[in-house]
Structure 1
Amino acid sequence: MTTQVAPEIPSAPAELKFGRTVDRSLVHRAAVSEVFVTDIQPLAAKKVRTAVQLPLTHGYYSDHVQRPAVYDALLLLESGRQAAIAGSHAHIGLSQGTTMIVDTFRLDLHGLKELMIGPEPGRLRIDTDYIGNPTRRGRYRKGKVAQRYFIEDTHVGEHEMDVLFLNEHENDVLRHAQRGTPAPLTSDFSDHGPGADAGRQVAPELVGRGNPLNVVLSRAGTTDRSVTADVTPRFDNRALFDHVYDHLPAMTLVEAARQLSLLAVGEPGTTYALGFEARFSRFAELDEVVRAEAPLVRPGGGRGEIPVRFLQGDAEIAQVTVTVVSGSEL
C-alpha cells in the first residue's frame, strides 16, 4: 500500500526519553499501568516519533505458553494505537474527548527473531504519519495513520489504520443510528456479557494462555472444515476493558481471532501470531452473543493466514485475518 509521507523537518529530533510514561489521558487509558508511551516528538507538520517501553512482564501481554517468549503482536498493536492517539492530541490538534474509530487496519511484523524478549524492557520507536485533510473549519474527520516500528535500531514492522475521528455527540448519534436504542455499558453487566458459561469456556492451554482470565472464547466446536466459538471475554480483564465500554472493543475481537486461529491450527504451544488485517463494519454489541468462525487448518509449520469472521445475529460485523507462524522460525 502506497502512502504519502509528510516532509521531514530540517532539524534533527531530540533523543527519545524512556524514563516515564505520558499522561494517561493522551492514550485514552484509565490505569497508568496500561500506558506504554513514554515520549512524543514532532518530526513534521503531520508526522511524529513516539517512544514506547515494552514491559518484560504483564498480566495479559505476557500470558503465553509459547517458548521462547517474544513480544506479543497485540502489545505492538496496542502500542501503535497509543502512539497514534497520543500524537494526534499532542501535535496534530485533536481535542480531548475525540474518539478514534478504526474502520480497517493492517499490522505486519517481519519475524519472530526481531521480537525476542531480552533481559531489559524493550525500547520501541514508532514513526507515525497522519494522512488526510482537515475540513474548512480545520477539523480532521477521517484519515489514515501509517506507522513504522523499530526495536532499538531494527525495523520490525509496519502498521496502518483507516480511522474516523468523532466527538462525543457524534459517537452517540452513530451508536443510536445503528442500534435504534441506547447501548448498554459493560458496567451494566457482571463479569461477562450474555452467553457466557464458565463451564463451557475454552481451556487456556488450547488457545496459548495460562490464565483463564485471558481466555475470550467459549462453546467452541469443530467440524471437518471449520472451528467456531462464542466471544465471551471477562469484563473484569482490565487489559481488554481498561474503562467502561458500550461495545466489545476492536482489540477484544483481534484477541478472539488469534485464539480461534490457534484452535484452528491445533498447535498452540508452537504457533505464534505475527500479523493481522482487519475490517470492522459494525460495533460488536454487548447485549447479543458474538460468534466467530474460521476454517480448520492442518498443522504444517511455516507461515499461513487464517481468516476469521465475526457474526452477531445474522450479520457479519467484522473480519480479522491472522498471520500465524511456527516457532521453528526461531
Structure 2
Amino acid sequence: MAASLKFLQPVSRQMVHRAAVAEVFVTDAFPMGDDRYLVAAQWPRDHALYHPDASGLTDPLLLTETVRQALVYLAHEYYEIPLDYRFIGCDTDFEITDPEALLVGDAPLHVVLDARWSWVDNKPPRRFGMRLEVVVTVAGRECGRGSLRVFAVDERRYGLLRWRGAGDRADDGGQGNKGAVVTRMPTTAVGRLRAKDCVLGRTDTGEWRLLFDLKHAVLFDHPGDHIPLMVTLEGFRQLGHHLVGHRPGVPQGSVLSTLRMDCLAFAELDEPVLLDVEEQNSPSDRPGTTRLRVTALQRNSVIATAAMVWAPPSHLDAPDDTRSLAGAGRA
C-alpha cells in the first residue's frame, strides 16, 4: 500500500503549523476512502531535539509530532478546516511494538501511517472535533500505533476560551515568582544532548518543575500564548528518563515504549508548572518494566496527566491498561 503514495510536491509548512521547513516530517497523503488515509513521513537520521538514543532507537516523541502534523494536514487538505483555525489538544498516545524497525541506519526512515479519521464532539462550523488513529509501518513492517484528539475553533472563539478568567501573561521562563531556587537538570540525567533542550528542573524544596525557553527553535517553533502540548510531554518524558535511569534493579537503556497523555487545561506562561510522579507497577509486569503516572499542576490545579511504560528493549509488549485512562480537555 505504501507504493500508492505519490510524492507530487512537498507539504507546505503552513499546512502542518510549522514555521521552519526543517521541522516538517509529513511528506504526502493518499486517500483510501471511508476516512482512511496513507500518510507518508520521513524521519531524519538525526535531529537537534528528537535524536536517537544511545542504542540508535528513534525518539518515540517523533511519532507523536508526526501524528500531530498528519492530523493538521488532513484537516486542512481533505476536510476544509480553515488554515487560520486554532487546534487545541485533548489527548494523545502511542505504543512502540517493534523497536528494531525504528533503529536508525544509514538513511532517513521512510514511515507510513495507516490513518483513520473520526469526528468526536464535532459541532461545525463553530467547533470541529476530531481524532486520528494510526498504525505505523517502516518498509512494510508494522512497528507501532498512536492517536491524537483535538478540536479546532476560529480566532474569536479561541479568544473566548483562551482569555476567560486569565490575567496578563509574563515571560519568566517557567520559573514563576514563588521564591524557590530552581536548578536545571544536567543533560545526561534527562537523555538530552544540549543544555537548552532540558525542560526539567528541581527546586531547593525538592519539587520537580517544568522549565522552558520561548526562544527554543523546536519546542517553540512559532510564537504562542501558552505552553504547547509537546513541551509538557517532553517534560514528562525527561522526568521519566531520570527516575527510571536511577531506579535500582532497572536495566540500563530502558526506553519509553507506551504513553497516554490527557490535557485538562491550558498551561500558562506566567506560573510555575509542578510535576508530580508516582510508580504504578503491577505484580504481573515483566521484569525490568516501570510504570509511572506523572501529573502537571499549575495554581494547584491539574493541567495534564500521563501514564508511561518504560521497558528494556526486549520487553516492549505492554498491557493495554495505559490506553484506558479517561480524560479530555485543553492544552
The answer to whether TM tops 0.5 is yes
Q: Does 1:30 align with 2:19?
A: yes
Aligned-pair distance for 1:221?
7.4
Partner of 1:280: 263
Does residue 67 of structure 1 match 2:67? no
What's the offset of the Cα at 1:146?
1.4
Structure 2 partner of 1:321: 307
Cα distance 1:24–1:265, how it changes in 2: closer, same or farther (>3 A)? same
1:96–1:210 Cα change, 3 Å = same
1:140 CA drift (Å)? 5.8
Among 209, 222, 228, the alignment partner of 2:192 is: 209
Q: What's 1:193 paired with?
A: 174
Residue matched to 1:16: 5
Contact 1:111-1:274 within 8 A present in 2 as well: no
1:255 is matched with which residue? 234
Quote the Cα distance in structure 2 between the aligned partners of 1:132 and 1:158.
19
Kindly indicate whether the alpha-carbon contact (under 8 Å) linking 1:27 and 1:85 is maintained by their aligned counterparts in 2.
yes
Task: Using the TM superposition, give the Cα deviation of residue 233 of structure 1 relative to its aligned residue in structure 2, in angstroms.
Answer: 1.6
Matched length: 306
Q: 1:128 to 1:242 in 2, by over 3 A?
A: same
Gaps (5+ residues) in structure 2?
A: 317-331
CA 1:158/1:139 → structure 2, altered by over 3 Å: closer, same or farther? farther
**Alpha carbons of 1:150 and 1:221: their partners in 2 closer, same or farther (altered >3 Å)?**
farther
Alpha-carbon deviation of 1:133?
7.1
Mapped partners of 2:9, 2:235: distance in 1: 31
Rounded to whole Å, the distance in 2 between the matches of 1:75 and 1:46 is 24
Describe the SS at the equivalent of 2:50.
coil
Within the candidate set 276, 294, 297, 1:308 is matched to: 294
1:101 paired residue number:
88
The structure-2 alpha-carbon separation of the partners of 1:46 and 1:25, relative to structure 1 and needing over 3 Å to count, comes to same
Deviates more, 1:161-170 or 1:284-293: 161-170
1:292 aligns with 2:275: yes
Structure 1 gap segments, 5+ residues each? 1-11
When residues 137 and 250 of structure 1 are mapped into structure 2, their CA distance, relative to the original with a 3 A threshold, is: closer
Q: Does structure 1 residue 51 correspond to structure 2 residue 40?
A: yes
Q: Aligned pair in 2 of structure 1 residues 13, 200: CA closer, same or farther (>3 Å)?
A: closer
Query: Equivalent residue of 2:4, what SS?
Result: coil
Q: Does 1:236 align with 2:206?
A: no
Do 1:248 and 1:285's aligned partners in 2 also have CA atoms closer than 8 Å?
yes
Deviation at 1:121, TM superposition (A): 0.2
**Aligned amino acid, residue 216 of structure 1:** V
C-alpha deviation, 1:105, in angstroms: 1.7
In structure 2, what is the equivalent of residue 270 of structure 1? Answer: 253
What TM-score comes out, normalization by structure 1 length?
A: 0.83
Task: Specify the alignment match of 1:4 in structure 2.
Answer: none
Contact 2:276 / 2:296 at 8 angstroms: preserved in 1? yes
Compared CA separation, residues 124 and 220, structure 1 to 2 (3 A): farther
Tell me the secondary structure at the aligned position of residue 291 of structure 1. strand
- Give the SS at the match of 1:200: strand
**CA 41–83 in structure 1, closer or farther in 2 if over 3 Å, else same:** same
The one-letter code of the counterpart of 1:193 is G
Whether the 8 Å contact between 1:49 and 1:127 is mirrored in structure 2 is yes
In structure 1, distance between residues paired with 2:118 and 2:246: 40
1:41 paired with 2:25, answer no
TM-score, length of structure 2 as denominator length = 0.83
Is the 1:302–1:325 contact (alpha carbons within 8 Å) kept by the matching residues of 2?
yes
Q: Which amino acid aligns with 1:189?
A: D
Judge conservation of contact 2:174–2:273 (CA < 8 Å) in 1: no
Deviation of residue 296 (structure 1)? 5.8
Identity of aligned residues (%): 27
CA RMSD across the alignment: 2.9
